[in-house]
């Protein structure tokens, strides 16, 4: 039976990798809907190649532009725009699976809509779990939505956890070990950190990713967000989560068992592997990823992360332990700070300062509803933006 898919954020890095895997298996998958926020020409190309029923853009002007491009190619995809349309394509009865690959908290409403509708959710948008972990997991449990982790670490963990994943202790799991590459500045002199440029920060040594997650990898906020993601996905207490730096990104993560066994998942660092794993389940399907060549690897090394080098990791760990609405504040502040850094407004080292400043404020807003979380997110963004304006160096 062919599976009908909605890809939220199809014009991004994960979206493109997903379509690459889908194109290898035309008999298995059919695209129901695609969405893109800014690259209308790319979205048009994807519509022409995959012929979805719907495509969603950010606004009316882009929708008009896309309609014109599709008409010229005799492509009958219907074009919608805006957040409600994203929620509609995520929850539509015609779709079976939803790839959640929008970046940032913007992905939350449609991903939550897919959870309400009981879809199979291929979750790349880790911010959904950081911002609304409790609400999202509860919603999925109530509707019967299935969540399959696309993030490479969580996908690795999912592959090596025992099949009964409810409560880790009863399965003999001692801890979960998230591996981290350490990003491009693992060995950079700390004195040089303030001068790091956006171009240097987005140049990840092992992975090709969108700009926001690339900066998150350079600050290791990405690993912090992933700790919170693992906490919710695997119902794992914070003190059972370990982080280890593994610069080669070959071991994608590990699970430590009570008998001393450690199970790891390995592979060439390419997101098409976890994507194909999720889409193919329970079967293993081809992903186009080159096989891992062990003889070409010089060494696999591991080291402890240093919080002086990566203060964002510590801030995220604290936010996870605090719980409630604190991870939502962490995420919002980080999104504002990373955008300001990428725009050349603040220094690399100001990212952690902005996040720390926001974590020290008191914000009202309930984390039990989407509306409450969106209020909290907005308040934290305002505080972060005010701080950015104070420290902006040009
Ligand atoms: P990207 O920047 O390459 O793509 C983001 C996508 O989201 C694009 O299609 C863009 O048009 C869309 N988008 C951006 N802002 C939007 C908004 N406000 N509303 C609606 N759509 C919007 O990002 P990416 O690297 O593909 O990452 C996507 C998600 O997957 C992120 O949450 C990231 O943390 C996660 N992830 C990515 C990778 C990776 O290798 N790229 C790995 C693990 C997890
Ligand atoms: Mg990851």
**Whole-number Å distance between alpha carbons of 196 and 37:** 28
**Whole-number Å distance between alpha carbons of 235 and 176:** 11
Q: Is the CB of 59 under 6 A from ligand 1?
A: no
Q: Tell me the per-residue pLDDT of 110-126, one tens digit each, with 9 for 90 and over.
A: 999 999 999 999 999 99
Q: Tell me the per-residue pLDDT of 289-321, one tens digit each, with 9 for 90 and over.
A: 999 999 998 899 999 999 999 999 999 999 999
pLDDT at 205: 85
CA gyration radius, the chain: 20
- Global pTM value: 0.97
pLDDT at 166: 57
Query: Does residue 344 have a known ligand-binding role?
Result: no
Domains of the chain: 3-149 (3.40.50.720), 158-323 (no CATH)
In the DSSP assignment, the letter for residue 304 is P
Burial of 61 (0-12, 13-18, 19+ CB in 10 A): exposed
Nearest CA among 270, 177, 182 for reference residue 221: 182
CA 301 from chain centre, in angstroms, equals: 25
β-strand partners of 378: none
Q: Tell me the per-residue pLDDT of 219-264, one tens digit each, with 9 for 90 and over.
A: 999 999 999 999 999 999 999 999 999 999 999 999 999 999 999 9
Say whether 174 sits in a helix, a strand or coil.
strand
For the residues 61-90, what does the mean pLDDT come to? 98
Q: Residue 151 CA: which ligand 1 atom is closest? A: 43
Q: Which residues contact 201 (CB under 8 A, 6 or more apart)?
A: 184, 185, 214, 215, 218, 341, 348
- The number of C-alpha atoms within 13 Å of 23 and in the hemisphere containing its C-beta is 14
Q: Is the CB of 105 under 6 A from ligand 1?
A: no
**Whole-number Å distance between alpha carbons of 255 and 241:** 10
Q: Is the CB of 319 under 6 A from ligand 1?
A: no
What percent of the chain is helix, strand and coil (3-state, nearest 5)? 50, 15, 35
pLDDT at 394: 57
pLDDT band at 366 (very low <50, low <70, confident <90, very high): confident
For the residues 265-284, what does the mean pLDDT come to? 97
Query: Does residue 25 have a known ligand-binding role?
Result: no
Q: Give the number of the ligand closest to the Cα of residue 87.
A: 1
Q: Is the CB of 243 under 6 A from ligand 1?
A: no
């Amino acid at each position: 039976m062919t599976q009908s898919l909605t890809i939220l954020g199809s014009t991004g890095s994960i979206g493109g990798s997903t379509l690459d895997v889908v194109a290898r298996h035309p008999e298995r998958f059919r695209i129901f809907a695609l969405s893109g926020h800014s690259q209308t020409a790319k979205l048009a190309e994807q519509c022409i190649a995959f012929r979805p029923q719907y495509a969603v853009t950010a606004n009316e002007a882009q929708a008009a532009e896309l309609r014109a491009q599709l008409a010229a190619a005799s492509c009958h995809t219907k074009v919608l725009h805006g957040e409600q349309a994203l929620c509609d394509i995520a929850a539509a009865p015609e779709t079976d699976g939803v790839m959640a690959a929008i970046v940032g908290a913007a992905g939350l409403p449609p991903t939550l809509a897919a959870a309400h509708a009981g879809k199979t959710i291929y979750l790349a948008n880790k911010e959904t779990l950081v911002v609304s972990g409790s609400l999202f997991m509860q919603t999925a449990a109530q509707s019967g939505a299935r969540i399959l982790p696309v993030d490479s670490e969580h996908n690795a963990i999912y592959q090596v956890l025992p099949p009964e994943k409810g409560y880790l202790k009863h399965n003999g799991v001692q801890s979960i070990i998230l591996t981290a590459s350490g990003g491009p500045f693992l060995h950079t002199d700390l004195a040089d950190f303030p001068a790091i440029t956006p171009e240097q920060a987005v140049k990840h040594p092992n992975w090709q990713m969108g700009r926001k997650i690339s900066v998150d990898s350079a600050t290791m906020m990405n690993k912090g967000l992933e700790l919170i993601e693992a906490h919710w996905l695997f119902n794992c207490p914070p003190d059972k989560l370990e982080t280890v730096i593994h610069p080669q990104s070959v071991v994608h993560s590990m699970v430590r068992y009570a008998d001393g066994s450690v199970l790891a998942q390995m592979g060439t660092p390419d997101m098409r592997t976890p994507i194909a794993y999720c889409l193919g389940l329970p079967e293993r399907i081809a992903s186009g990823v080159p096989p891992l060549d062990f003889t070409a690897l010089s060494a696999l090394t591991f080291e402890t992360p240093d919080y002086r080098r990566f203060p964002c990791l510590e801030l995220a760990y604290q936010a996870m332990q605090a719980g409630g609405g604190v991870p939502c504040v962490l995420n919002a502040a980080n999104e504002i700070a990373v955008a300001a850094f990428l725009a050349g407004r603040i220094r690399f080292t100001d990212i952690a300062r902005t996040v720390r400043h926001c974590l020290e404020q008191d914000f009202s807003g309930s984390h039990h509803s989407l509306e409450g979380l969106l209020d909290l997110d907005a308040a934290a963004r305002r505080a972060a933006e005010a701080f950015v304006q104070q420290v902006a160096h040009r």
